[in-house]
A and B are shown apart, each in its own frame.
Chain A
């Protein structure tokens, strides 16, 4: 019994602090907290990010591992946009960086080509934002990027539109190369929302008429 009491006493500060954690606290977050964009980070990083806002460490040390959660009010309140798009935009910077990283990690020959970016999302405004972000991220990685998008003939579009999604992308890639729209010195990075219900973007590349998924 004494052991149990000691265990409870030792863990009490952790339990109390954990309850207030806005990210994964065991007490359900306040409704107001849902309007916040919270990022957990190590306490030292938080001290550098927000100087003066995080109290300095105790001179006698600390008995528990602390971390900081920096919360900022969301620019666009919940309900104004489609929740899926909201989630995609929330992660857009890191997604674009990841996609660019994948292209930057290709072989020297592939990486050195002139790259085109095309985003496939049901909402054209979202497609525009995704491709813009990915193009800028690619340029930040030192990759040559073009604003051109490969084109297909009307007949190709009709055929590709009729096949299932898994086959449509490789087929389109083949047709891009065959029609001369995507040359041997070009690469295409397609950023795709494969299912309208998901909140993850996938990336595939089309090089020399061959399609492969990178993410």
Chain B
């Protein structure tokens, strides 16, 4: 067979068109797949956002039941239907049903007793004089009687709908008698962007109650706190002395003031007393400024870390305080006699960190320098360096009231 040039041309054109069509179809298929994947991704994102808002609406529904129960006495109700917004999968419905069950079990004051009714949700076939009816048990109460026995039954229907910027919850309770009267209904809605209250299933609260509690918590935090502090100061031994300075135990109290509402800055003034039988007795006044390091505001739930800086003036008296003199201890004892009272007074500057829990209890560590003992041979230094002499290391436990 010999093909004419025109026929040959047509054949080539058809062949090219056929190939082009195959390529186009493949591209279309790929585009559709990509669109489908994008839509699924979008649905997943929306479902995540809707879930919290839906939980919040269910919390509100059950909270309203705790305030105004739909029944005067405990009544068995079964969950007939939970439907989710059009465009979402049934998985969300399962999650919402579980959350509803958790809420109802945790809040018996709703008078709604969650019950199980397999025959109510099952598809049943009922033949009677009017014909054969195939329906769910809830839609055919007369038939349901035969399957599940006598007794009043109530079905709870919940529907969620995404209407523009609103998620709307509609609920109704139907009495399963032949007329299926609706005995209770409610519509609740929540706008996009409304923060979820994330209420705990036990002890549900309204938004206004939660705000009241929040304000109470803030107001309850008086700017003044009275700390009672047990402090131990240890001193480094001097190089030329055989007498080691004794640790001094202080009991301190005073007042601590929060300088900001967030308690990021606090200041305190405390007086202290130290006493060890046959060793020393002492008094002190201490001022301190603290800065919160662990965040911009004090945590309501976790511990807080403060950096503090302060100064103290101390006076000590007793035989054990002789190392706190800037001259030879042996010479001093020889000059004044064994029974002579030894008294000393000195100032100190400290720097440390404190771990405070719930603004109730705290523990802290600090290093202290005492300028009066810079050249002392009786008191040495911790962490020797050329910048500052840390003569003392201290630890504290504080209880706040």
Contact = CB atoms under 8 A, between A and B. Distances in A.
Interface of A: 36-37, 72-77, 79-81, 85, 89-90, 92-93, 114, 123, 125-126, 128-129, 132-133, 135-137, 139-140, 144-148, 151, 153-154
List 7 A-B pairs, minimum CB-CB distance, nearest first: A72-B165, A37-B164, A147-B180, A37-B165, A75-B162, A148-B180, A139-B185
Nearest to B160: A129
Contact of B43 (A80, A89, A90, A132): A80
Interface of B: 39, 42-43, 46, 49-50, 83, 85-87, 131, 133, 139, 157, 159, 161-168, 170, 172, 174, 178-182, 185-187, 189, 191-193
B83 to A, nearest CB: 6
A125 B83 contact: yes
Given A75-B192, A132-B159, 7 more contacts: A75-B163, A125-B86, A129-B83, A129-B86, A132-B172, A146-B179, A147-B172
Given A136-B187, A146-B181, A147-B182, A76 B162 contact: yes
Given A72-B192, A74-B192, A77-B42, A114 B181 contact: yes
Residue among B39, B167, B170 having the largest count of chain A Cβ atoms under 10 Å: B170
A93 B87 CA distance: 18
A53 to B, nearest CB: 12
B22 to A, nearest CB: 29
A140 B193 CA distance: 27
Contacts of A128: 83, 159
A9 B260 CA distance: 52
Contacts of A126: 86
B180 to A, nearest CB: 4
A123 B174 CA distance: 24
B46 A146 contact: no
Given A80-B43, A140-B185, A92 B180 contact: no
B167 A75 contact: yes
Contacts of B186: 136
Contacts of B180: 146-148
20 contacts: A72-B164, A72-B165, A74-B165, A74-B192, A77-B46, A80-B42, A93-B166, A114-B179, A132-B159, A133-B161, A133-B168, A136-B170, A136-B187, A140-B185, A144-B181, A146-B180, A147-B172, A147-B181, A148-B139, A153-B131
A132 B182 CA distance: 11
A184 to B, nearest CB: 14
Contacts of B174: 147
Contacts of A90: 163-164
B165 A135 contact: no
Given A76-B46, A79-B42, A145 B170 contact: no
